[in-house]
């Protein structure tokens, strides 16, 4: 699939870059906020409820724009599959994994998704240069520096093996979702595809653990919990998914997914601003490595 960045040859940043920067910013901010929400509800309840809300928001946007919400039976089957991958399997695995492992380990493990993606598109026949491969691994190394925060020892720890494996599995599923959803997004547009995929995915999550959703004590959730949940539903789910799909369609999988390496950086920055954490010179060096890797992959 030949990507069209919609730029007409203009210099960076192009439309695809801006969409992806917006999406990874939303997801980076979402990471520590989601950890807070998981204190008040189980992982599948959190994922199902926020994607029902996100899909309702996107359907409302489509209706306000006067766009048709209709899909054919064939399209429904394809969208069900996209929802299964990008919402049910990825978000379910991510939320469960995040609840079982440390946030630092989860940040670096989920950042392996571009590695899976570039391998998939290469197998499918998309031409990916050696420089793009190198850029992806350079960025991944930069993420490791940021999370480890040391040049002399391994400091990443905490959590469980099951949690780590769930996060890695979710990263692989996200790569598959990115590749599979691309043709549908080009055909029907990111808003419609994301709205239906989120609705189908939320229904799957509800069917998997309906008892937990029915037993959830919604009135016991404090105001700060609802504010955090609302942010993850509207910014981290609805808008971020639409922006991400819009960017990937314009830049292609290999170049576009390289921006995913910015998510841990933004997550750490959010923690610094709102949770009084600090950033060291080692982590700043890691940011520089990540940015250099993204630039290498971006020029593929």
Above 70 in pLDDT, residue 248? yes
Tell me how far CA of residue 219 lies from CA of 26, 46, 55, 138, 222, in angstroms: 27, 15, 23, 46, 8
Residues in the chain: 300
How many percent of the chain have pLDDT more than 90? 36
| 82-91, 248-257, 265-274: range with lowest mean pLDDT | 265-274
- Quick one: pLDDT band at residue 136, thresholds 50, 70, 90? confident
- For residue 7, the model assigns a pLDDT of 47
Mean pLDDT value of segment 48-57: 95
Q: How far apart are CA 219 and CA 204, in angstroms?
A: 24
Q: How far apart are CA 97 and CA 58, in angstroms?
A: 27
Q: Give me 262's structure tokens.
A: 């910015």
Neighbours of 200 (CB within 10 A): 23
Q: How far apart are CA 148 and CA 104, in angstroms?
A: 8
DSSP 11: P
Which residue did the predictor score with more confidence, 247 or 160? 247
Nearest to 270 by CA among 35, 109, 46, 11: 35
Above 60 in pLDDT, residue 237? yes
DSSP secondary structure letters along 148-164: H--SSS-----S-HHHH
Helices (H), the chain: 15-37, 43-65, 73-83, 90-100, 103-110, 113-123, 130-148, 161-188, 190-208, 210-215, 223-233, 240-251, 253-257, 262-275, 281-298
Residue 13: is the preceding peptide bond cis (ω within 30°)? yes
pTM of the model: 0.78
Above 80 in pLDDT, residue 1? no
Which residue did the predictor score with more confidence, 146 or 186? 186
How many percent of the chain have pLDDT more than 70? 87
Terminal alpha carbon distance of the chain: 14
- Quick one: pLDDT band at residue 153, thresholds 50, 70, 90? confident
Q: Quick: pLDDT tens for 175-232.
A: 899 889 988 998 999 999 999 999 999 999 999 889 999 999 999 999 999 999 999 9
Which residue did the predictor score with more confidence, 66 or 119? 66
Q: How far apart are CA 100 and CA 26, in angstroms?
A: 23
Above 80 in pLDDT, residue 169? yes
């Amino acid at each position: 699939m030949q990507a069209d960045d919609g730029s007409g040859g203009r210099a960076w940043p192009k439309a695809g870059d801006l969409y992806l920067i917006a999406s990874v910013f939303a997801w980076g901010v979402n990471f520590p906020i989601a950890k807070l929400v998981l204190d008040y509800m189980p992982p599948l309840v959190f994922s199902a409820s926020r994607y029902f809300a996100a899909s309702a928001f996107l359907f409302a946007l489509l209706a306000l724009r006067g766009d048709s919400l209709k899909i054919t039976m064939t399209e429904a089957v394809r969208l069900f599959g996209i929802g299964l991958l990008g919402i049910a399997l990825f978000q379910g695995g991510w939320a469960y994994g995040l609840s079982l492992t440390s946030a630092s380990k989860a940040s670096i493990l989920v950042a392996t998704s571009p590695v899976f993606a570039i391998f998939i598109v290469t197998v499918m026949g998309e031409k990916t240069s050696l420089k793009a491969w190198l850029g992806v691994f350079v960025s991944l190394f930069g993420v490791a520096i940021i999370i480890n925060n040391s040049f002399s020892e391994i400091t990443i720890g905490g959590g469980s093996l099951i949690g780590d494996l769930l996060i890695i599995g979710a990263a692989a599923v996200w790569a598959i979702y990115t590749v599979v959803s691309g043709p549908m997004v080009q055909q029907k547009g990111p808003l419609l595809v994301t709205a239906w995929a989120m609705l189908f995915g939320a229904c799957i999550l509800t069917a998997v653990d309906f008892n937990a959703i029915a037993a959830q004590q919604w009135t016991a959730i404090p105001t700060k919990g609802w504010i955090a949940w609302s942010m993850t539903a509207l910014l981290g789910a609805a808008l971020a998914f639409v922006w991400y799909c819009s960017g990937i369609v314009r830049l292609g999988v290999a170049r576009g997914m390289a921006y995913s390496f910015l998510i841990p950086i933004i997550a750490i920055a959010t923690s610094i601003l709102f949770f009084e954490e600090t950033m060291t010179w080692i982590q700043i060096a890691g940011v520089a490595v990540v940015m250099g890797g993204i630039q290498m992959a971006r020029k593929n």
